[in-house]
Amino acid sequence: MPCSQADYSFLRQLLSSRSDNIVDPSRNDLFDARLYRVARSRGMNGLDDLVARLKMSSDPLLTQEVVEAMTINETSFFRDRSPFDLLKDKLLPSLIENRSQQQTLRLWSAACSTGQEAYSLAMLLRQHFPQLAQWKIEIVGTDINAEMVRRARSGRFQRMEVNRGLPARFLLQYFVRDEEEWKAIPELRSMCSFHQRNLSHAFPVLEKYDGILMRNVLFYFSEATRRLILRRMHSALCADGFLLLGASEQAGLHDLWQPVVDGSACYYKPRI
Ligand SMILES: C[S@@+](CC[C@H](N)C(=O)[O-])C[C@H]1O[C@@H](n2cnc3c(N)ncnc32)[C@H](O)[C@@H]1O
């Protein structure tokens, strides 16, 4: 049973305070669709019971479950293709040239969901840049959703997932079949690490990144949160690094980010 407007407001407020994700009042149905299962799995009758429980007691696990159930984790290997062509043909060759002395490369897949983007980067590097075999390569994936991070870490993907965007030759070269799943080979997994992080919380960055992919997540935040996150990303990126956003996202903040359009892809250079 749908809950009252006051209960939807409570849920909106809860979500915004924990993940900064915004749900427009016209999309209250998203709460119904995503939280009914959470309520039932805890033996409650519906959303109104769930909201009553959330209001009554502070249950961090239930709150976390609600926040995670509201995240949209859509992703795929080599998503949107053109950013990966841009990485292969332009962004990575230039970085690799600049890092030829240090022989290190640090890339961040921010809001990585189940990890396909991070593993796509690892495959791209292995496939097209064999000269990096002795380099220290770190591909760091982060997401607010603990279950997504756990799945990304496992390196295991279902048939439906490997059928989306992964060329057949990459599947055979970089994954081994394990019953109904495909598991990334150790060589790929050793290049990637995954951590639970909330993008809207301040995050200490001890070592800057050479490239950041933060795609298809900004539109869940308010304008103020987007700006805050983009400022922090600027501090987390090397001066010659790049930022890639989703196809329908823009950085704005022209004092900090210079957009560069390249064919059908766009990336951002940090202004110093
Ligand atoms: C649509 S997916 C995008 C996945 C991947 N970046 C891509 O483009 O394919 C959005 C991801 O953002 C994550 N997310 C939402 N709010 C977040 C936050 N505040 N901090 C970190 N991750 C967040 C969600 O858990 C979800 O996995």
Give a yes or no: residue 53 inside a domain: yes
Q: Are strands 136-143 and 156-158 parallel, antiparallel or unpaired?
A: unpaired
Is there a single domain that holds both residue 265 and residue 174? Answer: yes
- Of 22, 30, 71, 213, the residue with max ligand 1 atoms within 8 A of its CB, to mutate for a pocket test, comes to 71
Domain of residue 195: give its range.
82-270
pLDDT tens for residues 107-154?
Answer: 999 999 999 999 999 999 999 999 999 999 999 999 999 999 999 999
Is there a single domain that holds both residue 49 and residue 182? Answer: no
Is there a single domain that holds both residue 33 and residue 143? Answer: no
Q: Check if the beta carbon of residue 244 is closer than 8 Å to that of residue 267.
A: yes
Is there a single domain that holds both residue 174 and residue 252? Answer: yes
Kindly indicate the confidence band of residue 264, based on its pLDDT and cuts at 50, 70 and 90. confident
Query: Residue 54: how many CB atoms within 10 A of its CB?
Result: 18
Kindly indicate the confidence band of residue 204, based on its pLDDT and cuts at 50, 70 and 90. confident
> How far is the centre of ligand 1, averaged over its atoms, from the C-alpha of 200 (Å)?
11
Pocket of ligand 1 (CB under 6 A): 19-21, 71-75, 79, 111-113, 117, 143-145, 148, 198-200, 215-217, 220, 246
Q: What is the number of domains present in the chain?
A: 2
Is there a single domain that holds both residue 235 and residue 108? Answer: yes
Give a yes or no: residue 45 inside a domain: yes
Whole-prediction pTM = 0.95
Is there a single domain that holds both residue 88 and residue 156? Answer: yes
Look up the CATH number of the domain holding residue 263. 3.40.50.150
Give a yes or no: residue 227 inside a domain: yes
Is there a single domain that holds both residue 11 and residue 134? Answer: no
Strands (E), the chain: 104-110, 136-143, 156-158, 175-178, 181-184, 192-196, 209-214, 237-245, 257-262, 265-270
Is there a single domain that holds both residue 236 and residue 258? Answer: yes
Is there a single domain that holds both residue 259 and residue 201? Answer: yes
Q: How does DSSP assign 131-144, residue by residue?
A: GGTTSEEEEEEEES
pLDDT tens for residues 47-92?
Answer: 999 999 999 877 889 999 999 999 999 999 999 999 999 999 999 9
Rounded CA-CA distance 154/254 in Å is 39
Give a yes or no: residue 158 inside a domain: yes
Q: What is the pLDDT of residue 2?
A: 67
